Amino acid sequence: MTASTLMPDTLQWLPDGGQAPQQLMVLLHGWGASAQDMAPLAQLLRRQFPQAAVLAPQGFEPVDNALAGRQWFSVQGATEANRPERVAAALPAFADWLRAAQAATGVGPAATALMGFSQGAILSLELVQRHDGLAGRVLAFSGRYAALPETAPQHTTLHFFHGADDPVIPAVHARQAMQRLADVGGDATIDIAEGVGHAIPVSLMQCALQRLTSHIPHRTWAAAMGSVPGLAGQAGRGQDD
**Domain residue ranges in the chain:** 3-226
Q: How far apart are CA 90 and CA 87, in angstroms?
A: 5
Helices (H), 49-110: 83-105
Mind telling me the catalytic residues?
118, 166, 198
Q: How far apart are CA 26 and CA 217, in angstroms?
A: 19
pLDDT of the chain along its 241 residues, tens only?
444 455 567 999 999 888 899 999 999 999 999 999 999 999 999 999 999 999 999 999 999 876 789 999 999 998 999 999 999 999 999 999 999 999 999 999 999 999 999 999 999 999 999 999 999 999 999 999 999 999 999 999 999 999 999 999 999 999 999 999 999 999 999 999 999 999 999 999 999 999 999 998 877 766 666 654 543 443 334 444 3
What single DSSP character describes residue 201?
A: -
Select 3-226's CATH number: 3.40.50.300, 3.90.79.10, 3.40.50.1820, 3.40.50.150: 3.40.50.1820
